Every structure is written in C-alpha cells, then in structure tokens.
Amino acid sequence: MAVDAALWDLLGKACGQPVYKLVGGYRDTVKPIIIGGYYGKGKTMESWCDEFLESKAKGFAGAKIKVGGLAPLEDAKRIHAIRKAVGDDFIIACDANQGWTRFEAVQFGLAVRELNIEWFEEPVQWRDYVPGMRFVREQTGLAVTAGQSDFFHDACREMIEARSVDIINHDVTEGSGITDWLKIAKMAELYEVKMAHHEDPLISMHLLAGISLGLYPEYFSEARDPLTPYILVDQPKIAGGQVKLWDKPGFGMEFNEEFVKKYRVD
C-alpha cells in the first residue's frame, strides 16, 4: 500500500540507507525483465520475435510473455519461435493471467517444457486456483508463479502450504504493502519458494535485491508507460542484463517537478 511504501522510504531517508539494505542487503544488482508479447491487430510471429530481440539489445535479461489468449499449442508455437530468435541466454517467463483450464495449461506447459521456461504464471482460472496450480506444476515440472491477485499474506500462505507455487509475486502497491511482502518472503523461505514482484520495478528492485530468494524486477516498454522515463529526475540504468541499485537513501526517487507540473490535473 502507498502509505506503507512511503514509511519505508522515510525510514531509509532517516537512516541514510537505501531500502534494499534495510530489508537485508543481499545484493546490489538485479536482472531486469520486460513484460510484453501482447496480442493485437497486425501482430505476427515475426513482430513478436523482433519485440524481444529489441528488448535484449536494450539490455534486458529476459521477458515475461503474455499467453493464455490462444489455444495452448498455438501459444506454444509463439514461445518456440521467440526462444529460437532470442537464444538460450535470455530469460523467458510465461503469464496466462488465469486464462486456461488446468488441462489446457498442462498442454501448453508440456509443449514448452524443453525451452527452459523460468516460470508459468497464473496458469489456471480463478475457480481452480490453488488445486489447479498444484496440478499444473506436478504434471509439467514447470515452476508456477502466483500471488499478484491476492491482497494479503493469508492467501499466499495457503498457496505455499498447499505446494501450489514455486514463486510468489505478491504486489506491494496493489496488495498489502512492503511490510506484509516481507512477511510473505519469510514464509516462502521456509518452503524454498522464491519471491518475485508484479511490476513497479523501482520499488520491487529493492525488495528483490534485499533477500536471497528474490528474482527479477518487471518493466513495461515505453510504449506502454510513456511517462515513466521522464517523471523522475533519474533512475537506475539497465545495461548488459543488469540493474545496479543506487545507495541513495530510501527508494532514491526524485520527481521531475517541471514534468509533473506540465501533466498535472488539478
């Protein structure tokens, strides 16, 4: 939640420390991935491949690719083509956004299992959430990710204890805040479940860098978030598949006041 994040930012500034050090300071670099691969008019196999080749050239370590909107084997063809285009040194995760039944998700998972898929996110529909995800991970051997749709740690605990997930991607801005995210991370560690985060990379990079089982901050392209590069005075740079976190206190964010005034709506 916003208030909780603001309090962590204030704590960092009061202590003169970045948030990632306050939550553990495990590392000072993380691997950024980009969210993409959306469906749309005019999208082709070639355009999807070009999209992620461009992302790789910009320094991203990998991508989280939208699936679940086509028949499982049709989406699998997309992932095969993208993997062939970007090579084996590019992280690929797949996000179905709860788009499939458990059997459709298994069909897709088996079709892409050989492609070194980092994780399969929200593979099944909400009504089959916890048992369905366990079924998918057992049948496919793929790492299953969920948590962004759950607002408090209780739901994440249920998934962890049911062995339904390998990765939790709880969202501190849409969910219950940084303090609760850290509680979830402690629970996850007991079960060797890793932690991701849904979007918000300038906050999530601190959390993911701060703990030993943290994964990758997720970015959108500038086409999706055109104001993001300009709303802050500066932000950590992506290069060579890495982002090095600053040692500025708190989250290290400084708003570009002139830019904010230009687009402000009172």
pLDDT at 147: 86
pLDDT tens readout for residues 211-247? 999 999 999 987 777 888 888 888 899 999 999 999 9
**Domains with residue ranges and CATH for the chain:** 24-226 (3.20.20.120)
Q: In which residue are the tokens 């739901």 written?
A: 155
Residue 40 DSSP symbol: -
pLDDT in tens, the chain (266 residues): 678 989 999 999 999 999 999 999 999 999 999 999 999 998 999 999 999 999 999 999 999 999 999 999 999 999 999 999 999 999 999 999 999 999 999 999 999 999 999 999 999 999 999 999 999 999 999 999 998 877 678 889 999 999 999 999 998 887 788 999 999 999 999 999 999 998 889 999 999 999 999 999 999 987 777 888 888 888 899 999 999 999 999 999 888 999 988 888 87
pLDDT tens readout for residues 40-55? 998 999 999 999 999 9
Scanning the chain, the segments in alpha helix (DSSP H) are 2-15, 19-22, 45-57, 72-86, 102-112, 129-140, 153-161, 177-190, 201-210, 228-231, 257-263
Nearest to 39 by CA among 62, 61, 67, 15: 67
